[in-house]
Amino acid sequence: MVLYWIMWAAIAAVTVWAVMRTRASAEMSRLEAEMRDEVAYWQDETSRARAHAAQMTRDTAIRADAWKTGRDDVIAIMPLVVSAFNAGDLTQLSYEETDND
């Protein structure tokens, strides 16, 4: 009778071990899939951040070039503005003073 109970205890132990191993394997698979999804998410975020940084770099270069062009245009017309001011011909300036009295 004792051998009978020992045999069933051994069978139960092997069964529990097999069930727990299966559950642990399933949990590990789930965690690995979750980890892969998270890595893929952060890789996508990194790609988007790099693209955004590249766009910002291009925009900054374009803006700097535009500001330089605008500044050069203002510098180029300043002699005309000064000469019109000195000549007293204020109609060339297209500037109108208004009285708000």
pLDDT in tens, 58-96: 999 999 998 988 888 888 888 887 887 777 665 655 555
> In the structure encoding, which two tokens stand for residue 17, read together?
């071990």
Cα separation values, 54 from 16, 40, 51, 58, 60, Å: 56, 21, 5, 6, 10
What's the rounded Cα separation, in Å, for the pair 36 and 32? 6
What's the rounded Cα separation, in Å, for the pair 25 and 73? 71
Which of 13-22, 36-45, 88-97 shows the lowest per-residue confidence on average (mean pLDDT)? 88-97
Q: How confident is the model at residue 56 (pLDDT cuts 50, 70, 90)?
A: very high
> In the structure encoding, which two tokens stand for residue 4, read together?
């009978």
For the segment 3-14, the average pLDDT, to the nearest whole number, is 94
Per-residue pLDDT, 101: 47
pTM above 0.75, yes or no: no
